[in-house]
Amino acid sequence: MTLNWYHNNKFLLIRINYMGLPFRITFDNKDHVYHVLNTGRIDHNTTQLELMLDGNKMVIEKNDKNCWVQKEGEPCPPAMVESLGRSVSLRMRM
């Protein structure tokens, strides 16, 4: 995620750019949009992901049992956190 500051004579405009395109996941018959906020390289050694899910920032991490669990952010159902982790893993070839 990068922040761009634009100066307009009266105020500063802040624009947030997310990494890549928005991703979509369907959980419980509802579509959700998420962005990956990690700024570093994502590979098979990545154990923590920063995500923006429906406008809310959250951090998930892979525990010692290789399950994705939520570390920070607005509470989500554990099954949704696991689905998000699997979705990113498949898309980023982790």
Model confidence over 8-67: pLDDT tens digits? 555 444 444 445 678 999 999 999 999 998 878 888 888 999 999 988 999 999 999 999
- Strand ranges across the sheet with 30-36: 19-27, 30-36, 48-53, 56-62, 68-73
pLDDT band at 7 (very low <50, low <70, confident <90, very high): low
pLDDT band at 79 (very low <50, low <70, confident <90, very high): very high
CA atoms within 13 A on the CB side of 34: 25
Domain ranges (residues) in the chain? 19-91
Q: What is the pTM of this model?
A: 0.74
pLDDT at site 55: 86
Tell me which residue of 70, 68, 77, 94 sits closest to 27, measured CA to CA. Answer: 77
